[in-house]
Amino acid sequence: MVRTKTFKEEHPLEKRQAEATRIREKYPDRIPVIVEKAEKSDIPDIDKKKYLVPADLTVGQFVYVIRKRIKVSPEKAIFIGESTFGC
Condensed to tens digits (0 to 9), the pLDDT of residues 13-37 reads 999 999 999 999 999 999 999 998 8
Condensed to tens digits (0 to 9), the pLDDT of residues 52-80 reads 999 999 988 998 899 889 888 888 888 88
Look up the CATH architecture of domain 7-70: Roll (3.10)
Closest CA to 72 of 52, 43, 37, 47: 43
- Length of the chain measured in residues: 87
Q: Are strands 30-34 and 50-54 parallel, antiparallel or unpaired?
A: antiparallel
Domain ranges for the chain, please list them. Answer: 7-70
**Over the range 48-70, which residues count as b (16 or more CB within 10 Å of their CB) and which as e?**
eeebeeeeeeeeeebeeebeeeb
Rounded distance between C-alpha atoms, residue 44 and residue 24, angstroms: 30
* The pTM of the whole model exceeds 0.85: no
